[in-house]
């Protein structure tokens, strides 16, 4: 193939992948998760005040809903919020952009591994249409940005591997990409060193390569140590199976059930090593299952699409062929790619929340795509090759169309209560009461974390919010402005004695959860109820006023 044809093909693939990731980005998925809203509002707050929502000046780590996440995504979002305002599209733009650029990086990464332009184009095309990568690229998430830089790190390592002399600019780029990945996504503190260690096993390495890689590795590790010191709480500590109460409670239950069995026997069979190993292997198995890879996909629920896997079903045989050919041909580079998949799954399998988790396991996407590419390129069926090729094309078109339908239609109505899109309608309805004699809007926290949505959709002045103490949404009747929040599912049914801080039945707009029974009138007053529904028709909120 001529270079012109190759680069035109690559341009069309990247253009197609970009179209998939940017098309109706602000409205599909219509669900806008509170983590996305938090990233957008913090970018808005940093733009206007130089502080995050809690008043921390130029933070490296954002605090959000009891969670701590690297802040770089919010900084990346600042120019987009400046350009387009605080919108869903602007908030998701960095994720979609770096998801599209990853398709381009995949070409250069695959070409260095396969030494074939045709296979490199195939790998780029497969990444462009991979459901897993599309899903995470269309939501505001640090994982997609970090994945681009992880792929860049390994591509640079492969480039340095092929050079006779030390390339200092390449070392600098590895360090830069590592730093950006670490400051963007918490898991990158594990993934970056793991990828650099895997690069040491590339075949027939020259002395210059080892010097380059060791230099980059030392600088990156020192940076991680400094960063860990500056970040008081790590996300891994919050979700690790080693610190999770559920894991420890299960072991305690097993010990209690031993009853009068010898303490020695109990210690042999029910200790931390045995218990954590079994939990880890169970979680690891979830990521390797056909159910996750091709049938039903993974979690968290807000990104789970009913009956759609993270890859296409037709790709799985070629993934198996690719793994088989790794052991048959015994090429070191492919053992490294296989290790990329198997080893980088370990951190994800060491967590216990929403397993299998598509965000935490996302660094293995390139490795799986490369192995599928390897399987396709090595598969031979003699005179039936053309027939097989046609069958693959038809299966690919069918499954891609099926995926689009599941994502754009079923994904919008299947278990919509995890997606939080009704908060935009709620915000609009609440503003219809502006100018009326209602001092408070008392909103249930049953469905989600409402305060961040109201900050986002109202474009609430960050300086004003900070001056009010940035009230955390963890306390009952916490508030800012007119908005007050309660753990009660049905605040409109609270008695006068249960209401606080000047809230009365007649001076407040109540927002009840959709599970509430609105048929009664506990106050004896005239009651008006407005219903907000999820897209599947079920009740999301009742907006209640009394006269």
Cα torsion angle, 403, 407, 413, 417, sign = positive
Give yes or no for a contact between 120 and 75, defined as CB atoms under 8 angstroms apart.
no
Cα torsion angle, 306, 309, 314, 316, sign = negative
Residue 529: phi, psi to the nearest 5? -125, 130
Could you tell me which residues come within 8 angstroms of residue 335 by beta carbon, excluding any fewer than 6 positions away?
Answer: 201, 326
Give yes or no for a contact between 91 and 140, defined as CB atoms under 8 angstroms apart.
yes
| Measured CA distances, 63 to 45, 67, 243 (Å) | 13, 6, 20
Q: DSSP per residue over 258-302, as a string? A: TTTS-HHHHHHHSSHHHHHHHHHHHHHHHHHSHIIIIIS--B-GG
Could you tell me which residues come within 8 angstroms of residue 435 by beta carbon, excluding any fewer than 6 positions away?
Answer: none
Give yes or no for a contact between 171 and 210, defined as CB atoms under 8 angstroms apart.
no
Output the pLDDT for position 243: 63
Q: What is the mean pLDDT of each run of 10 residues along the chain (547 residues)?
A: 90 97 92 92 96 92 81 96 96 98 97 94 97 96 96 94 89 93 90 93 85 89 75 59 65 68 69 80 93 93 88 95 95 95 93 88 97 91 74 88 89 81 92 88 88 94 88 68 90 84 88 85 75 89 92
Q: How far is 292 from 383, CA to CA, in rounded Å?
A: 34
Q: How far is 67 from 300, CA to CA, in rounded Å?
A: 16
Give yes or no for a contact between 541 and 453, defined as CB atoms under 8 angstroms apart.
no
Residue 519: phi, psi to the nearest 5? -75, -25
Q: Which has the closest alpha carbon to 267: 243, 251, 249?
A: 251
Output the pLDDT for position 232: 46
Q: How far is 486 from 442, CA to CA, in rounded Å?
A: 7
Residues paired with 511 in a beta bridge: 443, 543
Cβ-based burial of 151 (10 A; exposed 0-12, middle 13-18, buried ≥19): buried
Output the pLDDT for position 97: 98
Output the pLDDT for position 185: 92
Q: How far is 53 from 71, CA to CA, in rounded Å?
A: 12
The whole-model pTM stands at 0.93
Output the pLDDT for position 230: 54
Q: How far is 6 from 218, CA to CA, in rounded Å?
A: 37
Residue 195 has a CB neighbour count (10 Å cut-off) of 23
End-to-end CA distance of the chain: 77
């Amino acid at each position: 193939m001529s270079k012109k044809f190759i680069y035109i093909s690559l341009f069309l693939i990247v253009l197609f992948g970009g179209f998939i990731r940017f098309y109706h980005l602000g409205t599909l998925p219509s669900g806008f998760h509170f983590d996305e809203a938090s990233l957008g509002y913090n970018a808005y707050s940093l733009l206007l005040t130089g502080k995050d929502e809690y008043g921390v000046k130029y933070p490296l780590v954002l605090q959000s809903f009891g969670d701590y996440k690297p802040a770089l995504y919010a900084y990346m979002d600042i120019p987009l919020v400046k350009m387009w305002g605080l919108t869903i599209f602007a908030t998701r733009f960095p994720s979609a952009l770096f998801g599209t650029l990853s398709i381009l990086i995949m070409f250069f990464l695959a070409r260095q591994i396969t030494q074939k332009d045709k296979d490199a184009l195939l790998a780029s095309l497969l990444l462009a249409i991979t459901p897993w990568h599309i899903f995470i690229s269309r939501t505001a998430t640090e994982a997609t940005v970090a994945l681009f830089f992880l792929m860049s790190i390994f591509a640079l390592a492969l480039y340095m591997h092929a050079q006779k002399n030390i390339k200092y600019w390449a070392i600098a780029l590895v360090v830069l990409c590592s730093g950006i990945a670490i400051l963007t996504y918490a898991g990158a503190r594990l993934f970056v060193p793991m990828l650099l260690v895997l690069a040491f096993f590339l075949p027939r390495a020259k002395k210059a390569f080892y010097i380059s890689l060791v230099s980059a590795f030392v600088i990156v590790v020192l940076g991680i140590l400094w960063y860990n010191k500056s970040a008081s709480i790590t996300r891994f500590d919050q979700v690790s199976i080693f610190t999770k109460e559920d894991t420890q409670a299960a072991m305690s239950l097993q010990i209690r059930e031993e009853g009068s069995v010898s303490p020695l026997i109990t210690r042999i069979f029910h200790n931390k090593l045995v218990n954590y190993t079994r939990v880890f292997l169970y979680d690891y198995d979830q990521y390797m299952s056909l159910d996750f890879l091709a049938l039903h996909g993974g979690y968290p629920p807000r990104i789970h699409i009913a009956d759609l896997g993270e890859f296409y079903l037709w790709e799985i045989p070629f993934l198996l062929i690719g793994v088989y050919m790794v052991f048959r041909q015994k090429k070191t580079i492919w053992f490294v790619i296989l290790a990329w998949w198997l080893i980088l799954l370990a951190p994800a399998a060491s967590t216990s929340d929403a397993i299998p988790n598509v965000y935490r396991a996302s660094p293995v996407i390139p490795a799986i795509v490369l192995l599928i590419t390897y399987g396709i390129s090595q598969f031979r069926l003699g005179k039936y090759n053309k027939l097989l090729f046609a069958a693959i094309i038809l299966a690919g078109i069918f499954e891609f169309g099926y995926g689009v339908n599941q994502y754009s239609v079923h994904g919008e109505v299947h278990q919509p209560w995890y997606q939080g899109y009704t908060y935009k309608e709620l915000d609009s309805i609440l503003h219809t009461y502006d100018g009326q004699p209602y001092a408070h809007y008392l909103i249930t926290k049953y469905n989600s974390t409402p305060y961040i949505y109201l900050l986002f959709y109202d474009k609430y002045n960050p300086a004003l919010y900070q001056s009010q103490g940035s009230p955390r949404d963890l306390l009952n009747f916490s508030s800012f402005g007119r908005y007050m929040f309660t753990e009660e599912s049905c605040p409109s049914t609270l008695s006068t004695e249960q209401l606080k801080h000047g809230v009365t039945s007649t001076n407040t707009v109540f927002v009840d959860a959709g599970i509430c029974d609105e048929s009664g009138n506990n106050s004896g007053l005239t009651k008006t109820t407005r219903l907000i529904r999820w897209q599947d028709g079920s009740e999301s909120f009742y907006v209640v006023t009394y006269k």
